Chain A
Amino acid sequence: MKTNEDLLRKWLDNELDASELQAFNALEDSALLEKISLEMQSFKAPEYDSVLEFEKLKSALKSPVNLVVRPNFRAVWSYAAALLIGLGLFFTVRFSNTSQTTDMAEIKSQRLPDSSMVTVNAASTLTYNTLLWRFDRQLELDGEAYFEVVKGSDFTVNTHLGSVTVVGTKFKVKQRSNYFEVVCYEGTVSVSISNEIYLLNQGERLLKADDRQDQRSSIKEDVPSWIQKSSAFTAAPIQRVLNELERQYAVKILTNGIDTRSLFTGRFTHDNLELALKSITLPMGYVYSVTPNSIVVSVE
């Protein structure tokens, strides 16, 4: 006896005989199934021209497919061709270094060739080689960036104050003058500073500032605050806070009579300069005045 499932399966494979077809049409779902099938014909995939696509593939692969080492009188040409291609590749690789530089008040997101994501904070430069990327995931950073790395081979960020290596995770690297900070948001991160190596797990932070001892601490956020359009600080010297404000708003800030090592805890928004200035000056007992070329922050 044919169950409903059997009928359905045969209908789907177009294998019903006349009596089975009758039984199928009597099923409750058959009308809807027919209607869906009919409508779905217009969702068909576009035509795929495999001859054309193969030509595209061959030009993407360039030489090796056409290099054949046959009877010896051709051998010399093959070697010459191989050499030329080798040189061509060498120069192509050399010239495929890519640099991404952000200006003041600019935060840029970019996808790397392996689909990892990097978001670069203001006034920073990120450099890597697009051709070699798939074989060796290395890049140079001068400034601050947040990374979401796709699992794969080792992924290394080099700055002139230290290096970070990960295998698929989310982390932030910040290198400014005399300031090197790494925060791990997910996974595990290996940080190398001079001859020391540190392993950071999720929620851990490493800071090397000025000439002080390297400090480990823990953090609660899931992403850096500037990804969500504000900058947050915990007991940071006010000078650093003002430097970040300069970068986010592309303004020049001068101080008058304040101790730039005073510690600030709080945050400022990236969307409103006045509000940002108030968030910083009010808690510290400072005032600010705006001149045509700069903003002056002084004691009340």
Chain B
Amino acid sequence: MTLPAGAVKLARRPVPSLVRSSHSGRVRWGDRIALGALLLVTLLAAFGPLLAPDDPNARVGAAFQAPSAGHLFGTDDIGRDVFTRVLSGIALTWLPGLTIIAGGVIVGGIVGLLSGAFGGWIDTVLQRLTDLFLVLPATLIAIAVVAALGPGLVNSVVAVSVFWWPWYSRIMRGEIKTLAARPHVEAARLAGASRLRLLTRYLLPGAVPAMVVAATLDVANVVLVLALFSFLGLGAPAPSPELGAMSARSLESLTTAWWLPIVPAVVIFLLAFAANVAGDGVRRMLQSV
């Protein structure tokens, strides 16, 4: 059981920079705006349904109305307000996405920490397990799992989460291994610090920046994977305003009411774009110093 050599290299490399930094160490305005956008999206996901003008599942007028002042994104095939549904849909994409990332960081972090801190056979077993999860075709198996267990948001989140931790395990292990060889850790060990104290005070805090960077850059990926599941009808069931499903259910309206399939897809794009730009900003802030 081995991982392709290149994949290992990819996983161990520092996350590639997309937007080149002109000066390192200082927080740039662009990054602040991007981080603000990320915060805004999270707030929108949490409180968006409260701001919505209508009930996402209620008919508010004639079907297929074009976007107007009354209905910003128009109405859908049974006369529901698309703007309201999109606002509610952000929560259904964003919050499960953050849940998956949090689960990945925690599980992968623990696996990587044990692997890096203890070494020996524990390391070997855990890393072979990580390898196995990395070479399996994650998305395909997750689709099969959700199909077999039955569609639903919870099942989707569980199926995706099962495959989401291995990257974090690798990053954490790499960080711990590097840190363990650094002089300040060596000094603490010589000063008689216990293994637990070494882990919690000297190793874990040092690995946090790399994990935060990886997690922020990952938000866009998880948003897109959840959108894919939703589009395939594997997410929350029918009346629920999931963005991908809204797009999929109105495919036939593309030529008559183009905004119905396009608007939810554009919103997904904006979510992922905000996450990508913010991830890049976080990477620069935490790694260029």
- Chain B binds chain A: no
Q: Using a CB–CB distance below 8 Å, which chain B residues touch chain A?
A: none
